[in-house]
């Protein structure tokens, strides 16, 4: 038996021994994930008679006119012993944390992964490296892997999209994705993630980010819902002066979404911000967790958590859980959660200027969404966010959700 | 003899805010191109009149009538009142986070165009006219690209109201303490814009306590609102008298008379 096969069997054995995510688990008890068999594909075997899914896994694309020659990309086969060793090199073992069963299941199923190293473009060391990463599912149950290393001092701008390809079979997908983002000293990454699964898909994305001294990581997520949708960030601020800002916009519709951001503040003079805006309606069930732990000795660390839920129609369940664990005296920390309707004064203001109710609501909701994303990624006209917004996806998606909320309201 | 009915006709308007009756009986007429100044002590109901006419859901009309060019304002939802030509500037214009000023105003203008069966505005044409209007009002061009009122000073918020007034060109505008927070140049800009729009037929109801501006506006009438009723009607002399003696004295004199 080769080492790849042995590794896979070991992961399966571990899962068999330790079991799946506990129902009492603090992180998952509000929205328990589907059982292990679902993620390993054993529950779906032979369920799909349609051709294999048309997606091609990870694909890398140039972004706009930005040429980037400082990128090294390796697609590696996790079932080949040598390539698996290279793919998983330097990654931590799944361990035994609350989300570890997902990581073990990932080890057991992962077939293909992408390792990306971002260095400066020769001759353009001061300019950011721009790239687009798309992922489309290749199998009904899959466990994609991404390892992204940004070299010290390099600035990178990345848009990562997850959408079902047109013409795909419509069978639901169970996707347990893990991405390891590692920023060298002084590296900067602006990371815009768009995750729009099919309505019947189950998605669990785990982003593990580690930041060396002076590194800066800004991650903005825009997520629509599937039958189960987990987005979990584990961010470790390991070096002095590191800064992380995560902002999640969840367009929950009438389905389920679970946003989790776990931040470990491990060094002095670090700054971490976690924000979420959840828009939900009908019988949606949405959870936003922000948990930050400030370790002893993290002098002058700054932490901010801001979670907001807006019910658009019906009786959605919105659970917002900001949580701070502070083990050092000299820090600044603030957190808050707001659950409520749209700002009435702004709505009336827009209506007094001639906008009908639906148009005013759409404008204000999109404004709230943009404001959240701009706080994270900036609002520069030539910036990543502005370029993406110009495509109109956000406006269209919010419009669709609002239309659905009107239908919910009118039964 | 001119039999053209006034553009705005308000009769016996009675308005509650919560359990409290704020407007007891307000009646006023404003013909097209005319300017009426509304004065009154704090809590007399000036802002309530504007919000009630605009259709704010917290201001419950208990009785009376308000017609704009013969159309029953009180039967219309708020946006239709605006589309019929009513503009109410807010005393404290709210923030609209994430919505850029130029997008907000263009969306409003296009809503008006759509209601009139007109083509939507071209984005470039709109931007050119918005920049021109902003310049005339002393509003930095950069404000057009910023979220509506977010981080604006008090004076900038008011100038932003003027910018919307200038671009939306309503038939009747109610300006609620538009001068508060404004510097001298801002007040000049108010006067210049109001005079220009008046010449084009826009009617105004201006709520203000600032005599110098009131004089420059050359009102057709000055009304004093007291405890939810129009207590006195006059001309500039009424405004001057109030500025000299205050509202308490004016109230006492009115009772004596």
Q: Do B96 and A355 touch (CB under 8 A)?
A: no
| Closest CA–CA distance from residue A381 to any residue of chain B (Å) | 10
| Closest CA–CA distance from residue B203 to any residue of chain A (Å) | 17
Asked if the structure places residue A378 within a domain, the reply is: no
The model carries a pTM of 0.90
Condensed to tens digits (0 to 9), the pLDDT of residues A1-17 reads: 688 999 999 999 999 99
Per-residue b or e along A105-126, where b marks 16 or more CB atoms closer than 10 Å to that residue's CB:
bbbbbbbbbbbbbbbbbeeeee
Say whether pLDDT at A69 is over 80.
no
3-state secondary structure chain A: CCHHHHHHHHHHHHHHHHCCCCCCCCCCCCCCCCCHHHHHCCCCCCCCCCCCCCCCEEEEECECCECCCCEEEEEEECCCHHHHHHHHCCCCCCCCCCCHHHHHHHHHHCCEEEEEEECCECCECCCCEEEEEEEECCCCEECCEEEEEECCCCEEEEEEEEECCCCCCCCCCEEEEEEEEEECCCCEEEEEEEEECCCCCEEEEEEEEEECCCCEEEEEEEEECECEEEEEEEEEECCCCCEEEEEEEEEEECCEEEEEEEEEECCCCCEEEEEEEEEEEECCEEEEEEEEEECCCCCCEEEEEEEEEEEEEECCEEEEEEEEEECCCCEEEEEEEEECCCCHHHHHHHHHCCCCHHHHHHHHHHHHHHHHHHHHHCCCCCCHHHHHHHCCHHHHHHHHHHHHHHHHHCC
Residue B53's closest chain A neighbor by CA?
Answer: A352
**Number of domains comprising chain B:** 1
| Closest CA–CA distance from residue A310 to any residue of chain B (Å) | 15
A51 is written with which tokens? 């051709």
Query: What is the pLDDT, as a whole number, of residue B193?
Result: 96
Q: Do B98 and A370 touch (CB under 8 A)?
A: yes
Query: What is the pLDDT, as a whole number, of residue A55?
Result: 60
H or E element at residue B198: helix B184-199
How does the average pLDDT of chain A come out, rounded?
Answer: 91
Asked if the structure places residue A139 within a domain, the reply is: yes
Asked if the structure places residue A347 within a domain, the reply is: no
B226 is written with which tokens? 């007291």
Asked if the structure places residue A394 within a domain, the reply is: no
- Beta-bridged to residue A203, according to DSSP, are A175, A229
Q: Which of A309, A212, A209, A322 is nearest to A274 (CA)?
A: A322
H or E element at residue B223: strand B221-226
Q: Report the complex ipTM.
A: 0.95
Q: Which of A306, A289, A101, A343 is nearest to B98 (CA)?
A: A343
Say whether pLDDT at A409 is over 90.
no
Range of the domain at A188: 3-47+56-342
Query: What is the pLDDT, as a whole number, of residue B1?
Result: 45
**Number of domains comprising chain A:** 1
- Residue of A310, A353, A363, A369 best to disrupt the B interface, most CBs of B under 10 A: A353
Query: What is the pLDDT, as a whole number, of residue A138?
Result: 83
Query: What is the pLDDT, as a whole number, of residue A126?
Result: 80
Query: Which chain B residues contact residue A372 at CB under 8 A?
Result: 98
Asked if the structure places residue B21 within a domain, the reply is: yes
Asked if the structure places residue A160 within a domain, the reply is: yes
Measured distance CA(B203)–CA(B174) in Å, rounded: 9
Query: Which chain B residues contact residue A359 at CB under 8 A?
Result: 107, 111
Q: Do A346 and B164 touch (CB under 8 A)?
A: no
Asked if the structure places residue B35 within a domain, the reply is: yes
Asked if the structure places residue B157 within a domain, the reply is: no
| Closest CA–CA distance from residue B181 to any residue of chain A (Å) | 20
Q: Do A346 and B94 touch (CB under 8 A)?
A: yes
Condensed to tens digits (0 to 9), the pLDDT of residues A258-288 reads: 999 999 999 999 999 999 999 999 889 999 9
Q: Do B168 and A360 touch (CB under 8 A)?
A: no
Q: Which of A343, A348, A369 sits opposite B78 (nearest CB)?
A: A348
Measured distance CA(A236)–CA(A240) in Å, rounded: 12
Asked if the structure places residue A372 within a domain, the reply is: no
Q: Do B111 and A354 touch (CB under 8 A)?
A: yes
A346 in contact with B at a CB cutoff of 8 Å? yes
CATH number where B24 lies? 3.40.50.300
How confident is the model over A400-410, as a mean pLDDT?
77
Q: Which of B13, B54, B64, B5 is nearest to B31 (CA)?
A: B5
Measured distance CA(A300)–CA(A214) in Å, rounded: 14
A360 in contact with B at a CB cutoff of 8 Å? yes
Query: What is the pLDDT, as a whole number, of residue A382?
Result: 84
Report residues of chain B scoring pLDDT below 70. 1-4, 249-251, 254-257
A46 in contact with B at a CB cutoff of 8 Å? no
Q: What angle do CA B189, B190, B195 make, to 5 degrees?
A: 100
Residue A56: band (very low, low, confident or very high) from pLDDT cuts 50, 70, 90: low
Count Cα neighbours of A58 within 13 Å in the Cβ-side half-sphere.
Answer: 26
User: Which stretches within B85-122 are classed as H helix?
Assistant: 101-115
Range of the domain at B85: 8-93+169-256
User: How many CB atoms lie under 10 A from the CB of residue B169?
Assistant: 15
Residue B95 main-chain phi, psi, to 5 deg: -75, 145
Asked if the structure places residue A18 within a domain, the reply is: yes
Residue A356's closest chain B neighbor by CA?
Answer: B79
Say whether pLDDT at A59 is over 60.
yes
Asked if the structure places residue B129 within a domain, the reply is: no
Q: Which of A346, A355, A370 sits opposite B108 (nearest CB)?
A: A355
Residue B101's closest chain A neighbor by CA?
Answer: A367
Query: What whole-number percentage of chain A has pLDDT above 90?
Result: 76
**Do B142 and B135 touch, CB atoms closer than 8 A?**
no
Q: Do B112 and A346 touch (CB under 8 A)?
A: no
pLDDT, greater one: B249 or A307: A307
Q: Do B99 and A355 touch (CB under 8 A)?
A: no
Asked if the structure places residue B208 within a domain, the reply is: yes
Residue A381's closest chain B neighbor by CA?
Answer: B145
How confident is the model over A292-312, as a mean pLDDT?
96
Measured distance CA(B178)–CA(B155) in Å, rounded: 9
Q: Which of A155, A179, A185, A123 is nearest to A383 (CA)?
A: A155
Measured distance CA(A140)–CA(A36) in Å, rounded: 14
User: How many CB atoms lie under 10 A from the CB of residue B2?
Assistant: 5
H or E element at residue B27: strand B20-30
The torsion angle over the Cα atoms of residues B77, B78, B80 and B84, rounded to 10 degrees, is: 130
Query: What is the pLDDT, as a whole number, of residue A268?
Result: 98
| Closest CA–CA distance from residue B145 to any residue of chain A (Å) | 10
Asked if the structure places residue A207 within a domain, the reply is: yes
Q: Do A359 and B111 touch (CB under 8 A)?
A: yes
Asked if the structure places residue B153 within a domain, the reply is: no
Condensed to tens digits (0 to 9), the pLDDT of residues A84-142 reads: 999 999 999 998 899 999 999 999 999 999 999 999 877 777 889 999 999 988 888 99
Say whether pLDDT at A353 is over 50.
yes
Query: Which chain A residues contact residue B87 at CB under 8 A?
Result: 352
Query: What is the pLDDT, as a whole number, of residue A217?
Result: 98
Asked if the structure places residue B79 within a domain, the reply is: yes
Say whether pLDDT at A406 is over 90.
no
A356 in contact with B at a CB cutoff of 8 Å? yes
Measured distance CA(A360)–CA(A344) in Å, rounded: 11
CB neighbour class for A405 (10 Å; exposed up to 12, middle 13-18, buried from 19): buried
List of residues 6+ apart from A382 with CB closer than 8 A:
none
Please report, for residues A30, B19, B100, B228, the alpha-carbon distance to residue B44 in angstroms, rounded to integers and kept in the order given: 52, 16, 35, 6
**Do B228 and B52 touch, CB atoms closer than 8 A?**
no
Measured distance CA(A263)–CA(B86) in Å, rounded: 51
Q: Which of A346, A369, A372 sits opposite B96 (nearest CB)?
A: A346
Asked if the structure places residue B134 within a domain, the reply is: no
Count Cα neighbours of A248 within 13 Å in the Cβ-side half-sphere.
Answer: 30
A347 in contact with B at a CB cutoff of 8 Å? no
Q: Are strands A71-77 and A112-118 parallel, antiparallel or unpaired?
A: antiparallel
């Amino acid at each position: 038996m080769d080492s790849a096969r042995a590794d896979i069997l070991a992961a399966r054995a571990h899962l068999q021994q330790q079991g799946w995510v506990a129902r009492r688990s603090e992180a998952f008890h509000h929205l328990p994930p589907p059982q292990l068999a679902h993620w390993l594909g054993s529950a779906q075997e032979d369920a799909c008679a349609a051709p294999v899914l048309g997606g091609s896994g990870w694909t890398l694309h140039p972004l706009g006119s930005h040429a980037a020659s400082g990128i090294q990309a390796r697609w590696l086969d996790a079932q080949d012993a040598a390539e698996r060793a290279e793919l998983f090199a330097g990654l931590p073992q799944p361990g035994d944390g609350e989300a570890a069963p997902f990581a073990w299941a990932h080890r057991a199923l992962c077939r293909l992964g992408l390792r990306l190293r971002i260095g400066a473009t020769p001759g353009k060391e001061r300019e950011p490296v721009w790239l687009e990463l798309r992922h489309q599912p290749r199998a009904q149950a899959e466990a994609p892997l991404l390892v992204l290393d940004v070299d010290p001092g390099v600035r990178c701008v990345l848009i990562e999209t997850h959408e079902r390809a047109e013409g795909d079979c419509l069978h639901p997908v169970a996707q347990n994705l893990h991405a390891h983002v590692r920023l060298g000293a002084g590296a900067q990454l602006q990371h815009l993630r768009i995750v729009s699964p099919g309505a019947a898909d189950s998605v669990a994305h785990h982003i593990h980010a580690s930041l060396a001294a002076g590194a800066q990581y800004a991650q903005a997520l825009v997520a629509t819902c599937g039958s189960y949708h987990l987005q979990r960030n584990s961010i470790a601020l390991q070096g002095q002066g590191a800064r992380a800002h995560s902002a999640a916009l969840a367009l929950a519709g009438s389905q389920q979404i679970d946003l989790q951001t776990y931040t470990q503040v491990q060094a002095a003079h670090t700054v971490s911000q976690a924000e979420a805006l959840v828009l939900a309606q009908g019988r949606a069930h949405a959870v936003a967790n922000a948990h930050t732990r400030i370790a002893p000795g993290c002098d002058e660390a700054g932490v901010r958590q801001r979670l907001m839920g807006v019910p658009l129609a019906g009786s959605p369940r919105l659970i917002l859980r900001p949580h701070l664990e502070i083990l050092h005296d000299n820090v600044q920390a603030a957190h808050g959660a707001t659950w409520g309707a749209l700002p009435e004064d702004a709505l009336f203001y827009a209506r007094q200027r001639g906008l009908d109710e639906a148009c005013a609501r759409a404008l204000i909701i999109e404004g709230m969404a943009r404001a959240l994303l701009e706080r994270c990624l900036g609002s520069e006209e030539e910036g990543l966010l502005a370029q993406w917004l110009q495509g109109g996806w956000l406006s269209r998606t919010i419009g669709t959700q609002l239309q659905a909320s009107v239908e919910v309201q009118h039964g | 003899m001119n039999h053209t009915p006034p553009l705005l006709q308000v009769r016996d308007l009675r308005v509650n805010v919560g359990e409290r009756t704020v407007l007891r009986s307000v009646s006023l007429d404003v013909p097209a191109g005319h300017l009426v100044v509304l004065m009154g002590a704090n809590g007399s109901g000036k802002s309530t009149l504007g919000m009630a006419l605009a259709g704010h859901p917290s201001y419950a009309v208990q009785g009376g009538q308000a017609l704009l060019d013969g159309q029953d304002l009180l039967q219309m939802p708020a946006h239709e009142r605006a589309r019929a030509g009513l503009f109410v500037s807010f005393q404290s214009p709210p923030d609209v986070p994430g919505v850029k000023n130029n997008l907000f105003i263009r969306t409003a203008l296009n809503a008006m165009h759509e209601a009139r069966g007109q083509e939507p505005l071209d984005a470039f044409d709109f931007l050119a006219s918005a920049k021109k209007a902003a310049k005339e009002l002393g509003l930095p061009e950069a404000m057009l690209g910023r979220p509506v009122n977010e981080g604006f000073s008090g004076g900038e918020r008011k100038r932003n109201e003027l910018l919307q007034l200038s671009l939306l060109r309503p038939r009747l505008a109610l300006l609620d303490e538009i001068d508060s927070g404004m510097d001298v140049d801002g007040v000049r800009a108010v006067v210049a814009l109001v005079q220009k729009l008046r010449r084009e037929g826009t009617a105004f109801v201006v709520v203000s306590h600032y005599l110098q501006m009131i004089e420059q506006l050359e009102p057709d009438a000055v009304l004093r609102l007291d405890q939810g009723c129009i207590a006195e009607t006059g001309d500039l002399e009424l405004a001057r008298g109030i500025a000299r003696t205050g509202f308490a004295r004016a109230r006492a004199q009115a009772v004596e008379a």
